[in-house]
Amino acid sequence: MMSIAYDDAREAFGRSAARDELLLIDGARVPAISGRTFKSLNPATEEVIATIAEGGAADVDRAVAAARRAFEGPWRTMRAAERGHILLKWAELLKQHADEIIELESLDAGKPIAAVLRQDFPAAIDTLTYYAGWADKIGGDVVSTRDDALTYTVREPVGVVAAIVPWNFPLMIGMWKLAPALACGCTIVMKPAELTSLSALRIGELALEAGLPRGVLNIVTGPGRIAGEALVNHPDVDKVTFTGSPGVGRGIMRGAAGNFKRVSLELGGKSANVIFEDANLDAAAKAAAAGIFFNAGQVCSAGSRVLVQESVYDEVVERLAARASALRIGDPQDRATTLGPVISEKQMKTILDYVDIGKQEGALLVTGGEHVGDRGYFISPAVFANVKHEMRISQEEIFGPVVSVIKFKDEADALRIANGTAYSLAAGVWSSDMGRVQRFAKRARAGTVWINTYGYTDVRLPWGGERDSGLGREHGTAAIDNFTEPKAVWMNLNV
């Protein structure tokens, strides 16, 4: 591995490497008022790939004011169909710039380019076109109440939205928030994760080109504790939509209390992928490996716990280890790469610490779990066997390419272990017994259950969890509800 064509990648990237990236406020690219900047690194090479304006509270003030003006002005008053047309035009422009955006995302987030091509980019476009279609279909109901009144409901945009996005799927998760909020007539101040700001800024420029009026979409880059907190605490923000860690999510709920902002939170996971002895083991092991090693395990719904019935336990461990060893670690820009680096040195250390914790707890490290190469944050995919449900590597989100394989006896045991963490985002179950998989699907504490498959998402289906996995749902009609407020209207028919 790692005979990497970095120079070609740098040349292709030239645009952002060669110049500073600025904030996007009120339709213009502007520096931070403080003049401060921060660096963004390529996680595969540790090289600086951009210098980015570091937004602070004063920049957030400007951005929120611009969003408020745009909300009261052109955006909410525009014909709904026209809003939809602008979003569709934006989708067209993104497709025209697909190569550039895909490459940017891969370089900035260290994602294998093949995965961005197959998953992140098409999902972002699908989300945008889906909600563009919603723009002129958001209605209310006429409700029967009294004979002397006409009573009906309308749904109105909530107002100025703060969208706070993590680094694991900057483009796709960013679009999960932007597209429905804009379709509903809201305006936005978005704060990308400081590790991955570049695709957001580029698509923001293209939104202006598509005809989005100035101030409708503002992007303030910078640290969560400064720009993020200023947004969450801002008295003129009406709603916060957040994806990230449970710790930050708790702080957001507290910050939002000041003016009772609407809050939706997509947080962490420790999802169980449960394999019964009567499952198609080949398909199950293949999906279980993809379920944890995709995006180097930095996926909220990663199947980081694989629960295996005791009679087939050794076989599944063996198959998982073989699949882990077969992954191609390397330059994310190489289309053959299937496992890229993790996002940062800090994240790498956290993951390697968990590998040590797993060993100290007495789990058996079957393969992987080591820093690979002399530059970049690469970790070989790790399979832990003999993991007990109570161990920290079974309870805590590692957010890296590390899978804990846990043995269970029967259905009740599987369910107890699957539901036995603080999280509830997703779960998978593999069996040829349809009664068994349906019993599991009914009782699993999870926002999504996959039966004889794992990992699919679709913007048409609700997405999210409860407890440490979050609050509310994204996607589908749930997102329309998130970004609108219902209003009841009474009209007296006798006056």
Catalytic residues: 266, 300
> Which listed range, 21-29, 72-80, 265-273, 479-487, lies at the site for ligand NAD (CB under 6 A)?
265-273
Q: Are 104 and 192 in contact (CB under 8 A)?
A: no
Q: Is 244 in the site for ligand NAD (CB under 6 A)?
A: yes
Neighbours of 50 (CB within 10 A): 25
The residue assigned the tokens 């969208």 is 163
Q: In terms of C-beta density within 10 A (0-12 exposed, 13-18 middle, 19 or more buried), how is residue 247 classed?
A: exposed
The set of residues, in sequence order, having a beta carbon less than 8 Å from that of 277 and lying 6+ positions away, is 309, 311, 312
Of 27 and 268, CB closest to ligand NAD: 268
What are residue 242's DSSP bridge partners?
164, 265
Cβ-closest position to ligand NAD:
224
User: Which of 133-141, 186-194, 327-335, 404-412 is the region at the interface with ligand NAD (rule: CB under 6 A)?
Assistant: 186-194
Q: Tell me which amino acid residue 369 is.
A: G
| Distance linking the first and last C-alpha atoms of the chain | 80
Place of tokens 């525009």: 78
Alpha helices, H only, 294-427: 313-325, 345-360, 392-395, 411-418
The token pair at 399 is 């957010």
Which range touches ligand NAD (CB under 6 A), out of 19-27, 223-231, 321-329, 378-386? 223-231
Q: Which of 67, 193, 281, 403 touches ligand NAD (CB under 6 A)? A: 193
Q: Which of 159, 224, 368, 381 touches ligand NAD by CB under 6 A? A: 224
Task: Kindly state whether residue 445 participates in binding ligand NAD, applying the rule CB under 6 A.
Answer: no
Written as one letter, the residue type at 93 is: L
Distance CA 379, CA 369 (A): 6
Residue 191 sits in the site that holds ligand NAD (CB under 6 A): yes
Question: Given the complex with ligand NAD, which of 455 and 470 has the nearer CB atom?
Answer: 470
CA distance 405 to 423: 18
Should residue 268 be labelled a site residue for ligand NAD when binding is judged by CB under 6 A?
A: yes
Element (H, E) at 403: strand 402-408
Q: State which residue, 27 or 170, has the beta carbon closest to ligand NAD.
A: 170
Please report which helix (H) or strand (E) contains residue 57, including its range.
Answer: helix 57-70
157 binds ligand NAD (CB under 6 A): no
Q: Binding of ligand NAD at residue 108 (CB under 6 A)? A: no
Closer of 84 and 228 to ligand NAD (Cβ): 228
Q: Does residue number 59 form part of the binding site for ligand NAD (CB under 6 A)? A: no
Residue 421 engages ligand NAD in binding (rule: CB under 6 A): no
Among 40, 168, 218, 394, binds ligand NAD (CB under 6 A): 168
Report how far Cα 187 is from the mean position of its chain's Cα atoms. Answer: 20
Where does this chain touch ligand NAD (CB under 6 A) — which range of 112-120, 145-153, 227-235, 356-364?
227-235
Alpha helices, H only, 409-473: 411-418, 434-443
Span 451-470, contacts to ligand NAD by CB under 6 A: 470
Size of the site for ligand NAD (CB under 6 A): 29
Question: Whose Cβ is closer to ligand NAD: residue 103's or residue 229's?
Answer: 229
Minimum Å gap between C-beta 228 and ligand NAD is 2
Q: Dig out the tokens for 323 from the structure.
A: 């699949």
Instruction: Pick the stretch among 2-10, 53-61, 150-158, 243-251 that binds ligand NAD (CB under 6 A).
Output: 243-251
**Residue 237 binds ligand NAD (CB under 6 A):** no
165 contacts ligand NAD (rule: CB under 6 A): yes
Interface residue with ligand NAD among 166, 368, 369, 455 (CB under 6 A) is: 166
* 3-state class (DSSP) for residue 160: strand
Q: Which residues between 345 and 404 bind ligand NAD (CB under 6 A)?
A: 397, 399
**Contact yes or no for 381/406 (Cβ under 8 A):** no
Q: Which is nearer to ligand NAD, 163 or 284 (CB)?
A: 163
Contact 109, 333 (CB under 8 A): no
Which region among 21-29, 112-120, 197-205, 263-271 touches ligand NAD (by CB under 6 A)? 263-271
Tell me how far apart the alpha carbons of residues 473 and 407 are, in angstroms, rounded to a whole number: 32
**CA neighbor of 316 nearest in space, from 407, 207, 212, 198:** 407
Binding to ligand NAD (CB under 6 A): which residues in 287-326? 300
245 interacts with ligand NAD by CB under 6 A: yes
Interface contacts to ligand NAD, rule CB under 6 A: 164-168, 173, 191, 193-194, 224-225, 228-229, 232, 243-245, 248, 251-252, 266-269, 300, 397, 399, 425, 470
